[in-house]
Structure 1
């Protein structure tokens, strides 16, 4: 794996933070959903954002 510059590291941390926030919000939205189809889609988006966090974390070492 290539070494990250300070700017790249800061950007990566920022993106990870945004994805974590998305997971939290999407999980809250899914709890509020009454429509089962919409709830399923929102949960899918939350899982995707969580997967993104895990993949991005690998760049931090």
Structure 2
């Protein structure tokens, strides 16, 4: 029997698969994409999005 396949979905909503080199992966259910949290660049993508939101809120005041 081979190695047991791991489920890359943590808590059913976060995709974490270090063997998958993709940054963006299709969502488990429905349309759209999510990030592979095991890929270091995904954290940069999230940081840029959060920073953009903070800047827009700060400038909009």
Shorter-chain TM band: 0.3 to 0.5
What TM-score comes out, normalization by structure 1 length? 0.40
Identify the structure with the greater strand proportion: 2
Which structure shows the bigger proportion of residues in helix conformation? 1
Q: Higher relative contact order by CA 8 Å / sep ≥ 6: 1 or 2?
A: 1
TM, length-normalised to structure 2:
0.40
